[in-house]
Amino acid sequence: MQSKGLRNSFSEETRELFTWNEECWVCPENGWDCIHHILGRISDSPLNAAPIHNFKCHIGNGKLSKFDIKSRLLKKTLKYLLTKGYILTEKDKEFKKKHFRYYL
């Protein structure tokens, strides 16, 4: 699903959390090929990650910087991770607390 040589600060463990997800979280189509930093490169927490299409949905998409889109992606990531049995780390809890307004 993901291409080798991704150049972002997400760990291999974070990338593996999304292995079984097939859909892009911006458009409903299958075949995502990158992990987007929802709030920018401020954190490598899995809560800040969204699997999307790099060229179709990521590069040049100014809508990704809108509050409501960020909020939707963060909520979707949290729900996805929790339904997969992911247990939040202290770093994740800190991230969620710091950015609580997106989760309201």
User: Considering the entire predicted model, what is its pTM?
Assistant: 0.88
Q: Which amino acid is at 39?
A: L
pLDDT digit string, tens, across residues 34-85: 999 999 999 999 999 999 999 999 888 889 999 999 999 999 999 999 999 9
Domain ranges of the chain: 12-103
For residues 34 and 2, what is the distance between their CA atoms, to the nearest angstrom? 6
> Distance between CA atoms of 68 and 19, rounded to whole angstroms?
26
Alpha-carbon separation of residue 29 from 5, 21, 25, 87 (angstroms): 23, 11, 8, 28
